[in-house]
Structure 1
């Protein structure tokens, strides 16, 4: 049995779009996007109010591409896209999409990196992606310089993106590195770029983004997101939201909150690409601050706020502070990237009864949305219904297709937005991306059920997961990555990592460690050293805030697989069910 969208059943994507670069799709009006002159400024800085019109952004993108072509000696129609990889390692900025699309104009690949990455993690992405250049911001410049040196990237290919002084504070702006703004001005004097010469269906085959996802084991894996993947999901999401938008009238332009990290697929596709395509405006904040968020909602009269459950929790717990601000402009809350319990959803709606709370489900590997809440069929706790053009299937442990409602099974997804696979990792690609019944499916590793809502539509609920990812405030942590790191410590003989529940973060990593003989003699010291060892080498969300517990042996099955269920059963340790993964 398959589950498909209850809306826009005749949905199709024009065949010509399989051969169109993403930058062309987004910056030209002939593919259905809102006319540039009728669009709101696509991205507005929530701290400085700096912005550019849609027409100005198109011009700036072209000029930046010209400057990069000259600086990096790139010809748009020569060489592989993997010879033109640019990593962006920065806090949120109004210029990130301009950079992405400029790289695409040069037939290159843009690879966003998490701003919370420690130097070794960033160096891994630079090395694995084969990056030639990196764009960063002043607060992250030192990390970027050290990681670039480790990856063999010339210092001349490090560029700085401006952030508002209100955010950077006293950090000197005279870094000695060329800035994005200087490149844009330089590009004005450069020759016009030749048009891209693409073969038929090249957009389906060519990587636009290398987005690094933790996966289930080892270091983060690069997910190859094609131009067509993003184009398809933007159109799928537009079709899913069409009824709700039509009710607002043809002149409606949305103002959304751009708080989610732009390196995350949630922000990259749903907020940035889909928003700009509709002609909406996104109010960009460099990173999360509760006061900046509510102040921006009031100042810019934001209609849609894109959040994750820990921030929703803040909105319910800081109600007195919230009352100081006028949030009447908010019409809709979209949540994803982490679990959202029905209790928290009910708490938010109790405080703000006029807000429509919508959830979604997606992964980096589906770039992005698989299911979405329709505004006329809100069912708190569900991840919504399949969006147009997407087919879902559930299979049991034996691979047999689940045929009824309320029967759990691993979720498989077939959609034009299902990505090309993992970069430099054929084994992982073959395990996750499979062909069945003449179609290509993604094995999500999540256990889902479909259940009929009061409207008669089949909603999806994520009830468990096969993958062992730990979700910390919407960010993914692969236990195997931390386990490999812990085993490199001289006081550790064996280790296992699981997620332990936290009301605000969702989960935190907790380590179970078998100490070496030297470690047993100094348990308290060993605990401190191990904690510091981890914190020096990985991003903050991977720190062992769930604790370190010393045990005699890690429980394993005969083949050596860690029995995490036994570890979770110790004391109060447990797992949270995932509701959304956007």
Structure 2
């Protein structure tokens, strides 16, 4: 049975234009410019720009890039004009991505937690020709750029709050580009043909996947436009019930991640909201910012909710009464955790959503007028889904688990240079093209009679660390390069601070097992990961030694058995499961 959005969800209007044009032009449905708030404001300094100023800055950056890179909007392939952004959040981050699009280029946002090796992989894979970065991660960017042959004069610095005085000799800053843009002739208009927005890649975002290295997800202009419209139309029903026109939104989610890129970077601005930008999470700064700017909407990840609940005495020191809605994504928020938060803030609405990089991103979401704790809400307009059991048959009843398949105009184009993975994830049947999510769900009905989706388990085995995704297979491949690792498996274990963290089960070669104590070997393995991988991939769950890794007859790691083993061990210790 195919499931559809509830009847209260309006139908989806749609068009095909560049993201930048869509975001600026009221004819496509954006909130009236004259009534919109300033789009981005720095949560640390209060620095802000009007919509007109933000658009001008983006246009000037595009002109400067045209001069420096020798690119014209209607010449050459978009694949010859790929630029990476490796930076903490800034008030100009989204504007820079639109500047790249203005040249008919492609933006590839990179996780600021990456090591130089991980960043180099993304730069090489995407074919990036330049990098926008910032001072705190400049050394990492320089090492990665050197590894792939990007010259120093193609590395530009985004200016973080309170760091504008730290200009580095030999590097152009964003402000330098803006001043250069004022001296460059206007760019010719983009000449797009009908339907180009549905085919042309706007962003290359890297998904952890389930095996090997991260895969580059090709996200088209229309994918972002569609999800922006879907969320705005969906959320308007709940917002109007509570008399909300525009609001103040927290901009803490990394804009390099599809969740932040779309939900904060585009949806909030298109509906006329103001985004208060923070470069990274610090609990005190987070609370101070909510109080100072009277923030109404908090899009966060579950570990932040856990941090709040663990510091309730600190919460009492701040006025958080402006908050109406806290919304989580990137990982499921447990029903008990949500209810604990509501006991502290009974006037808040606490909702959550579900999506993937491959669906760019949101598939379903809680509406403020129909929240059921523990579920990920209802389908957005223009989306339909199927639930398939483990024999490949469609599930037609409520409450029965199966894998979620998704159809949506936001479902992306596939993986760059990876036909095998694309064919496995984006499948066809008599009903069209579907995204196999790899997530196990059930469909139930809310007390109001509307269908809700609940995530039961992650069939893809991804580990969600503080909003980041970690593929066990990637860590396993790296562990196998250590001489004391003969075989291994990595699973997620619960962590009060980070939500989940990786734990490794390791088999040591018999010839080496007696040479060192297990504690020494474990320490070496942990350092081996710390040296080469981003911090959220570190083995904070520890290393446990086994005689053999449990596997199926086909050789697939039976992680469920390892998870059961871990649960039993934690239960015996009285630890939280």
Note the C-alpha offset of 1:28: 2.3
What is the aligned partner in structure 1 of residue 184 from structure 2? 190
What is the aligned partner in structure 1 of residue 102 from structure 2? 105
What is the aligned partner in structure 2 of residue 505 from structure 1? 498
Deviations 1:148-197 (A, max 9, x none): 111111111001000012xx59x933342001111011101111101111
Note the C-alpha offset of 1:255: 0.3
Give the Cα–Cα distance (whole angstroms) in 2 for the partners of residues 574 and 147 of structure 1: 41
CA contact (8 A) 2:241 2:369 kept: no
Which of 191, 197, 210 is 1:203 aligned to?
Answer: 197
Note the C-alpha offset of 1:525: 2.6
The answer as to 2:458 corresponding to 1:465 is yes
Q: 1:571 to 1:32 in 2, by over 3 A?
A: closer
What is the aligned partner in structure 2 of residue 370 from structure 1? 363
The answer as to 2:306 corresponding to 1:309 is no
Give the Cα–Cα distance (whole angstroms) in 2 for the partners of residues 120 and 553 of structure 1: 31
Deviations 1:492-539 (A, max 9, x none): 111111111223322211111111223541133322211111101001
Give the Cα–Cα distance (whole angstroms) in 2 for the partners of residues 12 and 311 of structure 1: 33
What is the aligned partner in structure 2 of residue 267 from structure 1? 260
Give the Cα–Cα distance (whole angstroms) in 2 for the partners of residues 91 and 519 of structure 1: 43
What is the aligned partner in structure 1 of residue 220 from structure 2? 226
What is the aligned partner in structure 2 of residue 580 from structure 1? none
What is the aligned partner in structure 2 of residue 212 from structure 1? 206
What is the aligned partner in structure 2 of residue 243 from structure 1? 237
What is the aligned partner in structure 1 of residue 57 from structure 2? 60
Give the Cα–Cα distance (whole angstroms) in 2 for the partners of residues 458 and 151 of structure 1: 49
Note the C-alpha offset of 1:312: 0.7
Give the Cα–Cα distance (whole angstroms) in 2 for the partners of residues 566 and 494 of structure 1: 16
Which of 29, 43, 47 is 2:44 aligned to?
Answer: 47
Give the Cα–Cα distance (whole angstroms) in 2 for the partners of residues 380 and 570 of structure 1: 29
Q: Residue 199 of structure 1: SS of its match in structure 2?
A: coil
Q: Residue 150 of structure 2: SS of its match in structure 1?
A: coil
The answer as to 2:379 corresponding to 1:382 is no
Which of 563, 567, 573 is 1:572 aligned to?
Answer: 567
What is the aligned partner in structure 2 of residue 531 from structure 1? 526
Deviations 1:73-101 (A, max 9, x none): 01111111111111100111111001000
The answer as to 2:427 corresponding to 1:427 is no
Give the Cα–Cα distance (whole angstroms) in 2 for the partners of residues 571 and 560 of structure 1: 21
Give the Cα–Cα distance (whole angstroms) in 2 for the partners of residues 530 and 313 of structure 1: 29
CA contact (8 A) 2:332 2:455 kept: no
What is the aligned partner in structure 2 of residue 399 from structure 1? 392
Q: 1:406 to 1:361 in 2, by over 3 A?
A: same
Q: How does 1:280-319 map to 2 (within 5 A)?
A: 280-319=273-312
Comparing 233-242 and 524-533, the one that deviates more: 524-533
Q: Residue 492 of structure 1: SS of its match in structure 2?
A: coil
Note the C-alpha offset of 1:8: 5.1
CA contact (8 A) 1:109 1:210 kept: yes
The answer as to 2:325 corresponding to 1:332 is yes
What is the aligned partner in structure 1 of residue 5 from structure 2? 5
Deviations 1:201-239 (A, max 9, x none): 000000000001101111111110000001011111111
The count of residues paired between Structure 1 and Structure 2 equals 568
Q: Residue 125 of structure 1: SS of its match in structure 2?
A: helix
Give the Cα–Cα distance (whole angstroms) in 2 for the partners of residues 10 and 372 of structure 1: 14
Q: Residue 448 of structure 2: SS of its match in structure 1?
A: coil
Deviations 1:264-308 (A, max 9, x none): 111100111001101110000000000001100111010001111
Give the Cα–Cα distance (whole angstroms) in 2 for the partners of residues 63 and 46 of structure 1: 24
CA contact (8 A) 1:491 1:518 kept: yes
What is the aligned partner in structure 2 of residue 555 from structure 1? 550
**Structure 2 gap ranges (5+):** 571-577
CA contact (8 A) 1:92 1:285 kept: yes
Q: Residue 565 of structure 2: SS of its match in structure 1?
A: coil
TM-score (norm 2): 0.96
Give the Cα–Cα distance (whole angstroms) in 1 for the partners of residues 142 and 24 of structure 2: 32
Note the C-alpha offset of 1:38: 2.2
The answer as to 2:141 corresponding to 1:144 is yes
Note the C-alpha offset of 1:434: 0.9
Q: 1:261 to 1:10 in 2, by over 3 A?
A: closer
Q: Residue 56 of structure 1: SS of its match in structure 2?
A: helix
Q: Residue 445 of structure 1: SS of its match in structure 2?
A: strand
Give the Cα–Cα distance (whole angstroms) in 2 for the partners of residues 161 and 148 of structure 1: 16
What is the aligned partner in structure 2 of residue 440 from structure 1? 433
Note the C-alpha offset of 1:475: 1.0
CA contact (8 A) 2:550 2:561 kept: yes
The answer as to 2:247 corresponding to 1:254 is yes
CA contact (8 A) 1:83 1:108 kept: yes
Give the Cα–Cα distance (whole angstroms) in 2 for the partners of residues 53 and 244 of structure 1: 27
The answer as to 2:89 corresponding to 1:92 is yes
Note the C-alpha offset of 1:30: 2.3
Deviations 1:417-457 (A, max 9, x none): 00001111111000000112242110000011111111011
Q: Residue 377 of structure 1: SS of its match in structure 2?
A: coil
CA contact (8 A) 2:506 2:544 kept: yes
Note the C-alpha offset of 1:574: 8.9
Q: How does 1:448-463 map to 2 (within 5 A)?
A: 448-463=441-456
Give the Cα–Cα distance (whole angstroms) in 1 for the partners of residues 181 and 7 of structure 2: 45
Q: 1:107 to 1:388 in 2, by over 3 A?
A: same
Comparing 553-562 and 104-113, the one that deviates more: 553-562
Give the Cα–Cα distance (whole angstroms) in 2 for the partners of residues 85 and 142 of structure 1: 21
CA contact (8 A) 2:403 2:441 kept: yes
Let me know the Cα RMSD of the aligned residues: 1.5
What is the aligned partner in structure 2 of residue 579 from structure 1? none
Q: 1:574 to 1:410 in 2, by over 3 A?
A: farther
Q: Residue 30 of structure 1: SS of its match in structure 2?
A: helix
Note the C-alpha offset of 1:392: 1.2
CA contact (8 A) 1:453 1:459 kept: yes
CA contact (8 A) 1:519 1:526 kept: no
CA contact (8 A) 2:12 2:229 kept: no
CA contact (8 A) 1:501 1:574 kept: no
Q: How does 1:3-42 map to 2 (within 5 A)?
A: 3-7=3-7, 11-14=11-14, 17-18=15-16, 20-42=17-39
Q: 1:46 to 1:8 in 2, by over 3 A?
A: same
**Structure 1 gap ranges (5+):** 576-582
Note the C-alpha offset of 1:31: 1.4
